[in-house]
A and B are shown apart, each in its own frame.
Chain A
């Protein structure tokens, strides 16, 4: 077991030391480290219990991001509009607003991989009951993006959002929603 950990650590150090052109890397990185603003759209899919009542639809959202002093970390705010309809009467409108921390894999690749996690609140509007409220939400996600020049980035994202209702009396389950989409964002 110890041997495996040691091997992994050594491999990790070698990987970091193998950065070929530190200067060029920094220059490319600088554009990506600027504040970013962008939007995405794609299928929004409920699953588990909620999926029994409402169906997949197209959704979309906006986000802003700022790089932290440690340049592989960013902090961002995301919001989106997601409306889940059904063939029957049920309809769920969901507007999540959350802050998230993004970690970019520190490997020099033209393609950037970012993991993210965050929390916030989501506005829910349930029909036909016509009940509305804000619920706490948690999210985790993964992004791949390609720079298209100094300003534009094109990417793909996949986010999992958990709507937490467990603290409420009578709750039997929360909500699980998967957002996937293509995104376009700008280094400003």
Chain B
């Protein structure tokens, strides 16, 4: 078992404009009203870099910065784990389209944005962080892979870690073979010890057996959870929002799952 304390939470998604505003929706105390995901680019990025970022980077930055604001912690110097199923899907489409055209012109910006760790790179520039950072992919289980890696870093290094998960739909024709539903980002600032800001403790266990993943009660939020790999984090955020002790099952790679016991801090 690995224990991590949640110090800050970030959330951006369809009809979800920040953790602070959405806590009661996630807790089931207010209705969920879907609306297109609205996200601004962080002012922390230099103007030249800001122009080059697509929606996935904006999602990651917005969620991550909200979580750090909640934690009251400077992001510089905190290790990060980014997890996404598809990375910058608009960019992948545009690169493939350009390469299928006779001229095969791929711009330098398109190319460097094509790496799966583009969000991590922009994050490091925006927050001036030289801390370690990793960028993971585990298809539909990217949230579980990211949480397991973040929890293991906390256990081994004994230092805070931020987990940032995000996904953004492909345009056609890739959308037809890999529909990703909606734009969604979430983040957790995790620490090895309870601090004054700690919301809850997470006890994370890897279980090499199949199990039914936790679902959302609200049909709209459940559709979001099921449709967007990054939104598989929603049941964990809902447990944090309810502030009650709960166990959340997150699906991981085939035949495995994570069991996350959530214990609210007094």
Q: Do A and B bind each other?
A: no
B-contacting residues of A (Cβ < 8 Å)? none
A-contacting residues of B (Cβ < 8 Å)? none
